[in-house]
Amino acid sequence: MKKFLLWLTTLLAAVGLGILAPGPASAATSYCGLEWGSQAKSAPGMSSASVTNVRTGQQYCFDRMVVDLNGPVTGYTVGYVPEIIQDGTGFTIPVQGNARLQVTVNAPSYDQNGNVTYNPAAKAELSDVTGYQTFRQVVYAGSFEGYTSIGLGVRARLPFRVFTLEGPGTGSRLIVDVAHFW
């Protein structure tokens, strides 16, 4: 009986000190340790490069969209908008999802001679995002006066980040990651 009471006392002390039971979650801790936010993000500058491809992928904590360019990415604007607007026409493009990110790359989808460098076959579905946790639809909003726009329909207004990577070769990539949760 003494061993049982000693064991019970030790167990209760361990729980009381928080050794066996986790403490309360901190309000500052976010999903997967991501601390991105949902405000618009941008970088100034016009690129001499052209958009060549758009692709998507799934990660453990977020969904990713990649815009490939045949030179350096110089500028972009990414932010939540009430609706996706088609470049040049001003028409609204319907997009699945409860929130919409407008991704504008400060680079055209054509070269300096006017030759098209990116012309998706299905402008309403640049990438099949069926089964993605956050993405609902990726649409081509056009390329007009040196800017290329892509609409990204997402499940909800979730935190996102935007960054660029060099390569492959002389090309570069604009990366947009949208978290699965807050």
pTM assigned to the model: 0.82
Q: Is there a cis peptide before residue 159, judged by omega within 30 degrees of 0?
A: no
- Give the residues across from 173 on adjacent strands: 68, 165
Tally of CB atoms within 10 A around 126: 23
pLDDT for the residue 5: 55
> How confident is the model at residue 26, as a pLDDT?
41
Query: In this predicted structure, what is the pLDDT of residue 27?
Result: 44
Whether 139 contacts 93, CB under 8 Å: yes
pLDDT for position 146: 93
3-state secondary structure of 43: strand
Set out the domains of the chain in order of their start, with CATH numbers.
Answer: 37-179 (2.60.40.3500)
Longest dimension (CA), the chain: 90
Residues in the chain with pLDDT values less than 70: 1-30
CA 130, chain centre distance (Å) = 16
